[in-house]
């Protein structure tokens, strides 16, 4: 995205923020934490783009969108979240884009009893549903929703040994834990694990160690453009086996940055990423066609799945706000309670991320039928038949 366009969008968000400070009973304030700079910006910038396409009114209320840059920094994210709640009086929060910063929002939102639409994958954002997490609702399917199809794909391909390389944070820990849980009945095993910083520009030592272990396949527990680094290093140093990555790679920037090095990379991911491969009467195809043309007209590029997270937030708010208004007005705890309760009772709602049914014990109730195995081919992700 051109720097001038990014600055224009940031200015727009600042204007929204100024307006939000004076929000009244007929105005809904939506506070957003998004990484517009730092390692998570490949997620955050398209998400910020999508903010400008969110509707000016929801449920008959004028909407003030307050969007702050988290800088992909945990401390900044926490400060932003407190500001959005205490100063901007957010009725609902949206964010973040990467695991560490997303986790920073949850306890603050829970303490303030403010609904959070969590736009990251890690399960612990909303599970278990306790006094804190009862306020968090995930837009992105849990990693353990995508993990069983990953394991099945490996098994179907005759894989016996697996190497893992991932971010040196909770995201890698989640995936190693999932493999520990799912692999024993299959006869497959993990034989090597390596990690790297999200900001790393080279993972050559880690790649060489993995290749030396001679795994049949390597799983990359990373997302966004930083995931290109280990994949590039593995390919350029001769690894010929299967490379399968987490669903955070499902964006055009990943393919643009990776070029030929990411051809053939496999992912289990959300329907939006491959909507053009789906039948015209698919509800996922229809949802994408409501969002994609507007994004492309304004930004001249295809929107990645991260941008579609914001479209899903809109769909959920359009469902929840009218119900919340029966309980109270914006700016009141009764209104926040109403949004929370409506989100908890979503049933059979098609979103760009899948088919969602929530409950008091599950705030990320995506049906596995909404997960697709896909591969990078000819500069795009395509469904693996």
Residue 176: other Cβ atoms inside 10 A? 16
Same domain, 27 and 108: yes
User: 49-85: per-residue pLDDT in tens?
Assistant: 999 999 999 999 999 999 999 999 999 999 999 999 9
Last residue of a domain, one of 240, 269, 298: 269
Single pTM value for the model = 0.85
Same domain, 203 and 306: no
Same domain, 161 and 252: yes
Same domain, 209 and 135: no
Residue 149: CATH number of its domain: 3.40.50.2300
Last residue of a domain, one of 269, 296, 314: 269
Same domain, 134 and 151: no
Number of domains in the chain: 2
33 vs 68, 80, 204, 234, 347, CA distance in Å?
5, 7, 33, 34, 27
Strands 266-269 and 372-377: antiparallel
Last residue of a domain, one of 242, 269, 296: 269
User: 201-248: per-residue pLDDT in tens?
Assistant: 999 999 999 999 999 999 999 998 999 999 999 999 999 999 999 888
Domain of 110, in residue numbers: 3-141+287-367
Pair 81, 94: CB distance under 8 Å: no
Same domain, 202 and 294: no
User: 298-347: per-residue pLDDT in tens?
Assistant: 999 999 999 999 999 999 999 999 999 999 999 999 999 999 999 999 99
**228 vs 82: CA distance, rounded Å:** 34
Answer yes or no: is 363 within a domain. yes
User: 7-41: per-residue pLDDT in tens?
Assistant: 334 434 443 444 444 456 789 999 999 999 998 99
pLDDT at 18 (0 to 100): 40
Same domain, 247 and 117: no
73 vs 123, 166, 168, 198, 351, CA distance in Å?
20, 19, 15, 12, 29
Same domain, 148 and 235: yes
* Residue labelled with tokens 């053939």: 264
Mean per-residue pLDDT of the chain: 93
User: 109-129: per-residue pLDDT in tens?
Assistant: 999 999 999 999 889 999 999
Same domain, 88 and 135: yes
Same domain, 247 and 331: no
Q: What is the Cα gyration radius of the chain?
A: 20
Answer yes or no: is 376 within a domain. no
Pair 278, 350: CB distance under 8 Å: no
Strands 349-351 and 266-269: unpaired
Least confident of 93-97, 286-290, 367-371: 367-371
Same domain, 128 and 22: yes
């Amino acid at each position: 995205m051109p720097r001038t366009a990014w600055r224009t969008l940031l200015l727009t968000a600042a204007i929204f923020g100024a307006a939000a400070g004076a929000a009244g009973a007929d105005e809904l304030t939506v506070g957003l934490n998004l990484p517009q700079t730092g390692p998570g910006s490949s997620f955050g910038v398209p998400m910020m783009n999508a903010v400008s396409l969110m509707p000016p009114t929801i449920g008959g209320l004028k909407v003030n969108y307050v969007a702050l840059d988290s800088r992909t920094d945990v401390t900044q994210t926490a400060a932003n979240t407190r500001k959005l709640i205490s100063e901007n009086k957010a009725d609902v929060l949206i964010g973040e884009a990467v695991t560490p910063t997303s986790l920073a929002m949850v306890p603050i939102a829970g303490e303030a009893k403010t609904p959070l639409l969590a736009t990251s994958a890690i399960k612990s954002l909303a599970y278990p549903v306790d006094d804190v997490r009862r306020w968090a609702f995930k837009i992105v399917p849990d990693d353990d929703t995508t993990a069983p199809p990953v394991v099945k794909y490996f098994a179907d391909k005759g894989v016996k040994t697996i190497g893992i390389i991932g971010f040196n944070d909770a995201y890698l820990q989640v995936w190693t834990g999932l493999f520990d849980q799912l692999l024993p009945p299959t006869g497959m095993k993990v034989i090597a694990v390596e990690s790297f910083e999200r900001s790393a520009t080279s993972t050559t030592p880690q790649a060489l160690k993995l290749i030396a272990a001679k795994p049949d396949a390597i799983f990359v527990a990373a997302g966004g453009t930083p995931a290109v680094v280990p994949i590039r290093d593995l390919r350029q140093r001769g690894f010929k086996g299967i490379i399968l990555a987490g669903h955070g790679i499902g964006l055009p920037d990943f393919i643009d940055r990776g070029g030929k090095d990411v051809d053939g990379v496999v992912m289990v991911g959300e329907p939006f990423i491959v909507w053009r491969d789906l039948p015209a009467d698919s509800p996922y195809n229809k949802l994408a066609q409501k969002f994609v043309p507007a994004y492309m007209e304004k930004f001249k590029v295809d929107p990645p799945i991260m941008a579609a997270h914001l479209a899903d937030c809109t769909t959920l708010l359009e469902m929840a706000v009218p119900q919340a208004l029966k309980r109270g007005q914006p700016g009141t705890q009764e209104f926040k309670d109403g949004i929370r309760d409506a989100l908890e009772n979503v049933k059979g709602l098609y979103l760009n991320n899948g088919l969602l049914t929530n409950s008091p014990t599950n705030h990320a109730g995506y049906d596995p039928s909404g997960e697709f195995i896909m591969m990078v081919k000819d500069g795009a992700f395509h469904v693996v038949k």
